[in-house]
Structure 1
């Protein structure tokens, strides 16, 4: 199988199943179930517009345009062990060289190969892509009510306030009772219901087989941290 030759400043995207494209500086591409680059065409939980790759004055950026799914960016350079989490609404620079972008719905796990070639000089120009399509709506879109937003933001607060904090700092049920002014029963009921709603929306990590109530609370805290800046109450 022949791969496109990369020139300085280009980025190659490969889905490992026969679909690949090379972008030049100034270009932009959307990836998803009904996007420029197809992902999960038979996966009803995949966002129609999930990721966008775009050029920002010589740096290739990736943006999560979805509302529920997150992705991991895993550099493949020798001696590189760091990875970055790309939550909904977030943007990150793609590392030079080879990397993998990994994400999952409740149907399957996806992995894309990215190769960013070093640029000789920063390109100029803007990039913007819009795509209008008639694809079916993504299954599992989640609309949070005000109390669910309050719960998620309370769970994520210490993780957002002190980046690098581990899950031991996640508020306990008693902490949440005091912060939110709810009863213990209400806190536990809200955690259980929201976990089930996220599972039904195709977000991984919330099925019953993944553990007990404390496990679900920690999973909700991690989800809330990744989505913190996109959590909004309904007008």
Structure 2
């Protein structure tokens, strides 16, 4: 068995970040943050201990022990998605759990692997309160370009890791649009997802513009609204919807 295979199977659960694997022990708590077992990044916007993975009551759990940041969590195929707010926890019930979060100008992604998942494909949507099956939301071509322009740095990244969060001005420039047009389209995208039940895209006054862009990128990547194969659309001729 290779070292990677061993890391994935030992004790049932392992974490992968930037090609590095961490094997978890059932009798210890594994922490993720700025100064933790998995030191994500020396980012002042990131909690010293943001997330924890631990074994309790016969299940592995992912808990948000921070006070400000939230994380977007999805199964490996992007079919179910949950928003893990401060103080919330979620059972690790799928074979692969993708965790995405944003701290300041940077978005991060790591994966949790379970060798003996509680739920298979037939159990999707039954895992826990707060986990919802991803439904189809239809976007116009220009709305999809808005999402792509914001998600491009993360889609270009290989594997798990970090990427910079574009500003609306940067994304508008990438598309060759005026900022007013971009922001109007972004409002439409957020309204559409908010009506579909996606949390974190409406409400709140502090850093709202940054927060909704981060949440939109996290959701779009986690649920595969956009993928790497969509990136050529950014350079294709554009038509009005």
Q: Which has the larger radius of gyration?
A: 1
Q: Does 1 or 2 have the higher relative contact order (CA < 8 Å, sep 6+)?
A: 1
